[in-house]
Structure 1
Amino acid sequence: MELIKITHENLEQEHICCAISNNKDVQVMTKKAWIQERLDEGLVFLKGNVRGKCFIEYIPAEYAWVPIEADGYMYIDCLWVSGQFKGQGYSTLLLEECIRDSKAKGKKGLVILSSQKKRGFLSDPKYMKYKGFERADAAAPYFELLYLPFAQNADQPCFKKVVKTQNSLPEGFVLYYTDQCPFTAKYVPLLEKMAQERQAKLQTVHIRTKEDAQNVPSPFTTFSLFYNGELVTHEILSEKKFDKILADKGL
């Protein structure tokens, strides 16, 4: 399979694998705008020359929109191969290219966010550990930070302390989100409307800088919904799923 690297020159005409609608779709627009601003920081979006989810996105950890300490590492935002492309070695192809590129850039290793068991929007822990990744740190309720060091004496990455001190969050729902994932552009306004109609207290925090993202009390800054200081879910919600959560809270 031919791999295509997104650049300033081809961003407009290439589709983004996690959002393959036309460029006027709000999800595509927000994701591409986010990528555009990250390219000069070393973001790499590498995709298969196919129409579907077959890509890897990574960035130097110092610029990653996650609350971690991993200087000198490369952080993998997303490795996603799905549908008809699964089981054909494309995940390995993309990961090996990321390793090659990261070594060429003098990185200490790779870091990726995972969980105790396979969960949506997080890397598959079984697959990553099969590829040599080890657990570097953990955070409640189920997050794990995995890393693949390129040398035995490489520093071990970890979560920032802010991830483990969530008791200062206000009452009610608090939603942290970024434009890193295209789906938030569609669903966050719908959730805000639902909360207003149900008279549920919902505070949305749109993270717009890496500095703010690196100080969010959740490892998954793309979308993290809290209720009374406890994480409800990191999985980007549809209206139906949010309706169930509201009902469970008696709202």
Structure 2
Amino acid sequence: MEYIRVTNENIDEEHICCAISNNNDIQVSSKKDWLKGEFDDGLVFLKSEERGKCFIEYIPAENAWNPIIADDYMYINCLWVAGAFKGHGYSTDLLNSCIEDSKNKGKKGICILSSKKKKPFLSDSKFLKYKGFTICDESDNGIQLWHFPFITNASLPKFKECAAHPHIEEMGYVLYYTSQCPFNAKYVPIIEEVAKEKGVQFKAIHLQSKEEAQNVPTPITTYALFYNGEYLTNEQMNDKRFLKLLAK
């Protein structure tokens, strides 16, 4: 399979979203606007020619929108291969490209989020282990930071203290999210409206900069939902999922 690197020069023409075919969708435009702001910080978005069915997105860890300390590492935001394309080595192609590029840029290794128990929108820990990654840190809610060092005795990436113990003081539902995930542009306003209609206390905090995202009380910043101070989930919700959650 051939791969295309998306840049500011071609992003307006390229399809970039794994599950959204319409480039005019607000979810796509939101994601593209976010990407445009990150390319100058070293973000790389490499995708297959098959309309975004396979892609990897990574950035120097100091510019990642996550509360981690990973000096001289590359951080993988997302490695995605759609179901129909799994089992053909495409994830290995993309990962190897990231490794080669990161080595050429003088990085000490790469790191990525996973979890103790498999969670949606996070890389599979079994795949990471198979590829030689090891766990270097874990938060209280089971979110893990995995790393693949290029050199012996490389320093271990770790979560900042604020993310190691996910908890907040605010009551009700509190959602931290970014525009890195395209689905948020559509579905966050929908669940805000549902909460309003049901009289449920709900607060959405849209993280607008890496500085904000690097200092939040959660390892996952694309979508992190809390209730009465406790972390609930990183799974993006539509109205039906949120109503089901409220019913509990």
TM-score by length of 2: 0.97
Aligned to 1:33: 33
Aligned to 2:12: 12
Letter in 2 for 1:4: I
> 2:138, 2:164 within 8 Å by CA — same for their partners in 1?
no
Aligned to 1:151: 151
Letter in 2 for 1:26: I
Aligned to 1:96: 96
Deviation at 1:52, TM superposition (A): 4.2
Aligned to 1:245: 245
Deviation at 1:22, TM superposition (A): 2.9
> 1:109, 1:147 within 8 Å by CA — same for their partners in 2?
yes
Helix, strand or coil at the partner of 1:128? helix
Deviation at 1:86, TM superposition (A): 0.6
> 1:174, 1:227 within 8 Å by CA — same for their partners in 2?
yes
Deviation at 1:140, TM superposition (A): 2.1
Whole-angstrom distance in 2 between the partners of 1:158 and 1:2: 34
Aligned to 1:177: 177
Aligned to 2:212: 212
Structure 2 unmatched ranges of 5 or more: none
For each residue in 1:57-111, what CA deviation from the matched residue of structure 2 results, as whole angstroms up to 9, or x when unmatched? 0000000000000011000000000122110000000000000000000001000
Deviation at 1:165, TM superposition (A): 4.2
Deviation at 1:167, TM superposition (A): 4.2
Q: 1:164 to 1:83 in 2, by over 3 A?
A: closer
Helix, strand or coil at the partner of 1:151? coil
Letter in 2 for 1:17: C
> 1:64, 1:75 within 8 Å by CA — same for their partners in 2?
yes
TM-score by length of 1: 0.96
Helix, strand or coil at the partner of 2:45? strand
Deviation at 1:117, TM superposition (A): 2.6
> 1:174, 1:202 within 8 Å by CA — same for their partners in 2?
yes
Q: 1:167 to 1:85 in 2, by over 3 A?
A: closer
For each residue in 1:127-186, what CA deviation from the matched residue of structure 2 results, as whole angstroms up to 9, or x when unmatched? 001100000000121200000000111000000000134444201110000000000001
Q: Identity of counterpart residues, as a percentage?
A: 57
Whole-angstrom distance in 2 between the partners of 1:211 and 1:105: 23
Aligned to 1:125: 125
The RMSD of aligned alpha carbons is 1.1
Aligned: 1:197 with 2:208? no
Aligned to 1:223: 223
Letter in 2 for 1:41: D
> 1:20, 1:51 within 8 Å by CA — same for their partners in 2?
no
Helix, strand or coil at the partner of 1:145? strand
Letter in 2 for 1:233: T
> 2:59, 2:77 within 8 Å by CA — same for their partners in 1?
yes
> 2:76, 2:112 within 8 Å by CA — same for their partners in 1?
yes
Whole-angstrom distance in 2 between the partners of 1:96 and 1:89: 11
Structure 1 unmatched ranges of 5 or more: none
For each residue in 1:183-207, what CA deviation from the matched residue of structure 2 results, as whole angstroms up to 9, or x when unmatched? 0001000000000001000011000
How many residues matched? 248
Deviation at 1:18, TM superposition (A): 2.4
> 2:47, 2:54 within 8 Å by CA — same for their partners in 1?
yes
